[in-house]
Amino acid sequence: MTSLSSKNIWIQRQQCPCGDWKCFVAYEGNNEETTVASQLAKAKAASAEAMVVPYVGMVFKSDDDAFEYYGNFARKNGFSIRKERSRLSPQLGIYKRDFVCYRSGFAPVRKKPSGEHHRDRKSVRCGCDAKMYLSKEVVEGISQWCVVQFSNVHNHELLEDDQVRLLPAYRKIHEADQERILLLSKAGFPIHHIVKVLELEKGIQGGQLPFLERDVRNFIQNRKKVVQENDALLNEKRENDIMELLEACKASKEADEGFCFDCSVDDNDKLEHIAWSYGDSVNAYTMFGDVVHFDTSYRSITYGMLFGAWFGIDSNGRMIIFGCVLLQDEAPRSFAWALQSFVQFMRGRSPQTILTDLDPGLRDAVRGKLPNTKHITCIWNISPKVSSWFTVPLGCQYAEFRSEFDALHCVENTEDFELRWNEMVSRFGLGSDKHIALLYSIRTSWALCYTRGHFLARMTTVAFFRSVESFLKGIFSSNACLRSFFDQVGITANFQNQSHLEMQCMPSKACIPMEEHASSILTPFAFNALQNELVLAMQYAMSELADGSYLLHHYKKMDGDCLVMWMPEEEQIHCSCKEFESSGILCRHALSVFIRKNYFQLPGKYFITRWRRESSRTCYDEPAPQDSDNEWFREYQSLSESLFTESSLTRGRTNYVRRELMKEVKRILEEVRSMPEIDGVAVDLTLSPTGRSF
């Protein structure tokens, strides 16, 4: 009997954030989890293409390529194949391969046991002579496989397209469907109901699944037997592997003082959660910890643990790994523990903004543990779920709905959003839909009209999303035990955190002094963003209003004007698009005003620290001080930056902060001067609050 695999298998979480355990999410773009409808469409498209019949002399790079090619040919022509024989030599290894029709040969004659009931199942083998034999050759040191015999003559009837898919070779239950089947079976669903649920969820007609009802029954029965026989052994292996992971964390702590980890145990004194971070990650957080993306999209089937990782973006636009966590479940208290551990690793400093998935438990944890942090759900965490939710109920209307939903995400003001949202819900009859209700309840975390103005450090771009996705797929591609997985994550994280980009010279596009000045201050990544805004600034017309503000209008667009407030005394500028507040890069509208005001250089306040060239050097090259005397300096810097950002929005705020801040500074200064000058402890002031420009 086949035993349960000891490999560590990771899959994307499929539990729907709506809270209904019967509902699940299929991710777009995942080959293992695409809908059966799309698979059938691809199969029909492939069958429509001309396929070369194998012939003697045909060459393949490997025997696996040859088997795959012959298998595709067989499926298109109404039969399946199997591997018959192989020949081995000490010099070449396997040098011959025989692939034959599934009905090749004859079944061996077996004697029936006496006194026992024996089911006489007729064999499908009928001596078919269809085959493809290959031989391995080495040409100029390169191995290749050549077809030496081929026959496509069958002595049996070939199957039609709707029948060939039912052959055992083509009936497969993918891992995502396996998990869903086991969940429904555990809930008490009979086999035929499980099949019906899968058909409805995938939006296909009855009987179009890539497996049969009896395959589902056999899978459930076999899995139950495997679990019963291996449960005790697997639990022991899990505990041993988790303890090895804990020992690996302790060893990493001894080798690197900057490494930090934390763990918790359950009521039975068994480890349930473990989180860790690296010295370089903690140092990077001091500079780039203003915005954090917490990804919890993968979990291990083997260990039953959820993997979470905290990501950031540095001054060169590269992804940073701040820390990782393994959780035993997806309960709010588990997420709360993870967030609390992360803040502890980062010396008590919470991020300004955190980006997460839609998970309701995670949202509750963020609200409880990070009350002063803005919680954002990026649109690329929502988009993959929309098709799973609305493709089946909307049918042919889905494309129109998706277009309207995507447009709603970009609506500029809340009044228009509310109006158009209600119109969309009414037009498509989604008033009672639970997923629409979920999206509306969290609209302040994903709709641009609600999130605009909160600092995101350009972490909502497609480029950043792809870098995170690439990292996760890379570490989950190998089925390794927890200890090996931990080592692999560490190697990848250290490589990401320590690799630096060269400060290359960026070519001029706008050809103005302001551009040249910015190129000497900003990193190439930030300068490229500003440069693009400078080029687009030339396309706007400017009209001065009675109150001294300016209306910016694009020469092609009839609406979408932006209002820019300009305060020349303080060289203060504020645009209604709030791009600077969101990304730290001035928008094209504000730049257009500066250009027309004959500025050769932008004021220094608009080159924030995280995008300056020196930030990429000092972040990793100069470790952050470890002693507690310097903790208040970092807190002072964080509060000062937040105060500056908030006070710069209006002139009233600026005047208030200036007035009140001067009072408080004078009061504190008088109290400090009245204190004793000597207390026996010298404080290192090499890190000064004024030593970091903003």
Please enumerate, as own/partner, the contacts of 576-582 that have beta carbons within 8 Å and a separation of 24 or more.
577/452, 578/452, 578/453, 579/533, 580/606, 581/452, 581/453, 581/454, 581/455, 581/645, 581/649, 582/452, 582/453, 582/454, 582/455, 582/456
Average pLDDT over residues 268-294: 90
Report whether pLDDT(136) > 80: yes
The segment with the largest mean pLDDT, out of 172-176, 293-297, 471-475, is 293-297
Could you give the CA distance from residue 377 to residue 206 in angstroms, rounded to a whole number? 36
User: Which whole number is the average pLDDT over 327-338?
Assistant: 92
Token pair recorded at residue 521? 């201050």
Give the chain's largest Cα–Cα span. Answer: 107
Instruction: Write down the pLDDT at residue 589.
Output: 93
Residues 385/25, Cβ–Cβ less than 8 Å: yes
Q: pLDDT band for position 44 (50/70/90)?
A: very low
User: Which residues 6+ apart lie within 8 Å of 155 measured at CB?
Assistant: 126, 127, 128, 129
- Per-residue confidence band for 642, with pLDDT thresholds at 50, 70 and 90: low
In this structure, of 30-34, 52-56, 257-261, 386-390, the range with the lowest mean pLDDT score is 30-34
Q: Record the tokens describing residue 455, joined without a space.
A: 């600092």
Residue 308, strand partner residues: 325
Taking residues 646-657, what's their average pLDDT? Answer: 68
- The pLDDT, as a whole number, for residue 333 is 93
What is d(CA 422, CA 593) in angstroms, rounded to the nearest whole number?
A: 37
Question: Which pair of tokens denotes residue 320?
Answer: 């940073």
Residue ranges per structural domain of the chain: 58-107+123-165, 171-235, 238-493, 513-618
**What is the arrangement of strands in the sheet containing 562-567, beginning at the earlier edge strand?**
540-544, 550-554, 562-567, 572-575
Q: Confidence band (pLDDT; 50, 70, 90) for 269?
A: confident
List b or e across 448-482, with b for residues whose CB sees 16 or more CB atoms inside 10 angstroms.
bbbbbbbbbbbbbbeebbebbeebbeebbeeebbb
**Residue 447 identity:** A
Q: What pLDDT score was predicted for residue 338?
A: 95
Q: Environment class of residue 244 by beta-carbon count within 10 Å: exposed (0-12), middle (13-18) or buried (19+)?
A: middle
Residues 6+ apart with CB under 8 A from 203: 35, 37, 391, 392
Across residues 117-145, what is the average pLDDT? 82
Q: How far apart are CA 142 and CA 489, in angstroms?
A: 35
Q: What is the pLDDT of residue 138?
A: 84
What pLDDT, on the 0 to 100 scale, is given for residue 266?
Answer: 83
Contacts of 645 (CB under 8 A, 6+ apart): 455, 581
Q: Which two tokens stand for residue 377?
A: 């759900």
User: CB of 195 within 8 A of CB of 216?
Assistant: yes
Q: Please provide residue 362's backbone torsions phi and psi, each rounded to the nearest 5 degrees.
A: -70, -40
Is the pLDDT at 5 greater than 80, yes or no?
Answer: no
Quick count: other Cβ atoms within 10 Å of Cβ 683? 8
User: Does the pLDDT at position 277 exceed 90?
Assistant: yes
| Across 63-77, 87-101, 156-170, least confident range | 156-170
Closest CA to 541 of 475, 489, 596: 596
pLDDT greater than 90 at residue 634: no
Average pLDDT over residues 241-248: 86
- The closest alpha carbon to 133, from 63, 74, 71, 29, belongs to 63
Q: What is the mean pLDDT of residues 498-503?
A: 52
CA gyration radius for the chain?
32
Question: Would you call 19 exposed, middle or buried from its count of C-beta atoms within 10 A (0-12, 13-18, 19+)?
Answer: exposed
- Asked if pLDDT for residue 684 goes beyond 60, the answer is no
pLDDT more than 90, % of the chain: 35
Residue 485 is inside which H or E element, if any?
A: helix 482-498
Distances (CA, A) of 680 to 628, 676, 677, 683: 17, 11, 9, 10
In angstroms, the CA 449 to CA 412 distance is 5
Q: Report the mean per-residue pLDDT for the chain.
A: 81
Question: Residue 501 pLDDT more than 90?
Answer: no
Give mean pLDDT, residues 407-424.
92
| 196-210, 219-233, 307-321: segment of lowest average pLDDT | 219-233
Q: Specify the pLDDT at position 450.
A: 92
For the ranges 45-59, 219-233, 524-538, which has the lowest average pLDDT?
A: 219-233
How far, in Å, CA of 534 to CA of 589, rounded?
A: 9
DSSP character string of 498-518: H-----PPPPPSS-SHHHHHH
Residue 677: per-residue pLDDT: 58
Sorting pLDDT into bands at 50, 70 and 90, what band is 425?
A: very high
Q: pTM above 0.95?
A: no
* Amino acid identity for residue 521 in this structure: I
For every residue of 461-483, DSSP letters joined together read SHHHHHHHHHHHHHHHSS---HH
Contact 352, 290 (CB under 8 A): yes
How far is residue 96's CA from residue 149's CA, in Å, rounded to a whole number? 11
Give the whole-angstrom CA distance, residue 147 versus residue 132.
7
- Find out whether 10 and 473 touch, Cβ atoms under 8 Å: no
Residue 231 vs residue 147, higher pLDDT? 147
Q: How large is the average pLDDT for residues 137-163?
A: 88
User: What integer pLDDT is reported at residue 691 of this predicted model?
Assistant: 37
User: Per-residue pLDDT averaged across 172-194, rounded?
Assistant: 81
Note the pLDDT tens digit of each residue in 381-402: 888 888 888 888 888 899 999 9
Alpha helices in 256-354 (DSSP H): 279-288, 332-345
Position 245 scores a pLDDT of 87
How does residue 454 score in pLDDT terms, banded at 50, 70 and 90?
A: very high
At residue 27, the pLDDT reads: 60
Quick check: 406 pLDDT over 80? yes
Mean pLDDT check: name the lowest of 137-141, 154-158, 328-332, 613-617.
Answer: 613-617
Mean pLDDT along residues 135-153: 89
Of the listed ranges 208-222, 299-313, 316-330, 501-515, the least confidently predicted one is 501-515
> Which range among 28-42, 406-420, 669-683 has the greatest average pLDDT?
406-420
* Mean pLDDT of the 359-371 span: 91
* pLDDT given at position 628: 44
The more confident residue out of 246 and 499 is: 246
Q: Would you state the pLDDT for residue 626?
A: 42
pLDDT of 602 > 70? The answer is yes
